[in-house]
Structure 1
Amino acid sequence: MTFSGTARPDLLAIAGRYAADPDRWPVRPRFDPVDRWYARIAERPDHEAWLLTWLPGQETELHDHGGSAGAFVVLSGALVEETVAGGESRGAVLVAGAGRRFGTHHIHRIVNRGGDPAISVHVYAPALRSMTRYHLDARGGLRVAEVARAGVAW
């Protein structure tokens, strides 16, 4: 789906609605001691929504969303969103109730640096088809590590 000529949905508001109504989720949150756990909880013509859980220390790599815009809301615990600008990593702490929206070219990583488990809801439009993972080089530049495809890598 493309959004040219039409209003883009407010993905942060949509994420907030999913976060506020866990009785409608098709799955219950689970925690995996090895890696963050995730499950798609909705797929609509204009967006998809994912439920993620994070034990202390669990994180993503630096990644983009393959041209999809997105937003996420922290339901419990706290997460740090790190972005890279000018070769430097910058972090913002998001506690329960906080959220963040981002555009189609956003690169970030999310990490649970706290001592408590965290739960978050993420919404993307259009639905995720790929995600590119990045590494920082010695000069602070981003280099592609992997391009993961939906249905193949997750």
Structure 2
Amino acid sequence: MTVVDARPDHLAVAARFADAPEQWPVAPRFNPVDRWYHRLHVADDHEVWLLTWLPGQGTEWHDHGGSAGAFHVFGGTLTEDTVALTDGRPPRVTSRELGEGAGRRFGSHHVHRMTNRSHRPAISVHVYGPALTTMTKYRLGAASLEVLTVERAGAQW
């Protein structure tokens, strides 16, 4: 008997939306104060978001409340920092720069931050499955991640 994984390939979904900007219900906007975002699509098992990033804009350390997903850089360059925690050792941060056309999958326990460290605006498409209900924001301490807040969909975003 073959077991079929019915979950969508989040990276393929993100790339498919990035490949069809003429079908986006809104044009990307840039906000000099905060990152701009708009939900492009929602299905029973995932949702798709469009985000824009001016130079210097980024997120705090955060997770996706148990949702897995992926992101695809539509334009510009973004830097993703991830953190690895190993008992008894200081947290280890790894940075990866992703340019136009690059993408990355992540699991349901992924903690990261993303920043536009370039001198050009950036646009990205993000897919989360299941749809986001919470996001936990963290502070990176000397020995661990400390929870700052837990934000809820519909209340904080």
TM-score scaled to structure 1, two decimals?
A: 0.94
Q: Which amino acid aligns with 1:149?
A: R
Matched, 1:78 2:67: no
Max Rg structure: 2
SS at match of 1:13: helix
SS at match of 1:148: strand
Q: Which amino acid aligns with 1:141?
A: S
2:154 aligned to which of 132, 135, 151: 151
1:39-78 map, 5 Å: 39-78=38-77
Residue 46 of structure 1: how far off its partner (Å): 1.9
| Structure 1 residue ranges without an equivalent (≥5) | none
Partner of 1:19: 18
C-alpha separation in 2, matches of 1:134 and 1:50: 22
- Are 1:68 and 1:103, in contact at CA under 8 Å, matched by a contact in 2? yes
C-alpha separation in 1, matches of 2:23 and 2:45: 18
C-alpha separation in 2, matches of 1:15 and 1:92: 19
Residue 6 of structure 1: how far off its partner (Å): 4.0
Partner of 2:88: none
| Structure 2 residue ranges without an equivalent (≥5) | 86-90
C-alpha separation in 1, matches of 2:83 and 2:130: 24
* Alignment root-mean-square deviation, CA: 1.3
Residue 24 of structure 1: how far off its partner (Å): 1.3
Partner of 1:37: 36
Matched, 1:122 2:126: yes
SS at match of 2:69: strand
- Are 1:42 and 1:50, in contact at CA under 8 Å, matched by a contact in 2? yes
1:78-97 map, 5 Å: 78-86=77-85, 87-97=91-101
Percent identical pairs in the alignment equals: 60
Residue 131 of structure 1: how far off its partner (Å): 0.2
Q: Can you list the C-alpha shifts for 1:32-57, whole angstroms capped at 9, x where unaligned?
A: 00111100010111210000000000
- Are 1:88 and 1:140, in contact at CA under 8 Å, matched by a contact in 2? no
C-alpha separation in 1, matches of 2:72 and 2:117: 17
SS at match of 2:22: helix
TM-score scaled to structure 2, two decimals?
A: 0.92
